[in-house]
A and B are shown apart, each in its own frame.
Chain A
Amino acid sequence: AQTVTQSQPEMSVQEAETVTLSCTYDTSESNYYLFWYKQPPSRQMILVIRQEAYKQQNATENRFSVNFQKAAKSFSLKISDSQLGDTAMYFCASLSGNTGKLIFGQGTTLQVKP
């Protein structure tokens, strides 16, 4: 079975600084996808970034980038130039099999302080 683990329940960062959220996963599948989702207080889950396991290059989306270490089964999210609007809960997730269901980590609550 796939598992996803986020070991940081809460984090905080000063506005304009950089923060890294950690995630580890376990899967027996040879090809898989990993995601970071953002959930602000509105509860709306928003896809932040995705990584295909077969791609060695780390994904980047504007201020968001990942550090994908396949051998270590690690998938961390780096947020550069943090903004107040980044305050939210962040979930790491993996895509399971051919049904497409997502397996989520426990989440990390990030607070960006002015």
Chain B
Amino acid sequence: GAGVSQSPSNKVTEKGKDVELRCDPISGHTALYWYRQSLGQGLEFLIYFQGNSAPDKSGLPSDRFSAERTGGSVSTLTIQRTQQEDSAVYLCASSSGLAVPYNEQFFGPGTRLTVL
């Protein structure tokens, strides 16, 4: 498909377990963003990638959260020792990253994470 894809669609895990969430951006998009949508916090920015580097990771809530991007394409968001407050929908978006006034972000369908 031509859009942003994310897997899994839903993930249920037990408190204390590690989880990996995957994002496949639109082909050729150099910029990639992770956002978290939770009941208490609304929709918040987590991390931004340009290529394989992350110049802005200011939104990661704790050192249990990390993300990487390889080959300028797929990105993985890892949450270690999950807590119940990590339960949320994790959204990924990508954009062309070209030097234009702004770059529209295209969103994936998200991964709903439930920590029991």
Measuring CB to CB, which residues of chain A are less than 8 angstroms from any residue of chain B?
33, 42-47, 50, 52, 91, 95-96, 99-107
Contact = CB atoms under 8 A, between A and B. Distances in A.
Contact of B42 (A46, A52, A101, A104): A104
Main secondary structure of the interface of A (DSSP, over half): strand
Nearest to A31: B101
Given A101-B45, A101-B48, 19 more contacts: A33-B102, A43-B89, A43-B91, A43-B112, A50-B102, A50-B104, A52-B102, A96-B45, A99-B48, A99-B56, A100-B33, A100-B95, A100-B105, A101-B56, A102-B35, A102-B93, A104-B35, A107-B42, A107-B43
A64 to B, nearest CB: 16
A45 B107 contact: yes
B25 interface: no
Contacts, number: 54
Interface residues of B, number: 26
Contacts of A33: 101-102
A106 B59 CA distance: 17
A114 B36 CA distance: 33
The 7 closest A-B pairs by CB, nearest first: A45-B107, A104-B43, A43-B110, A106-B42, A99-B56, A101-B45, A33-B102
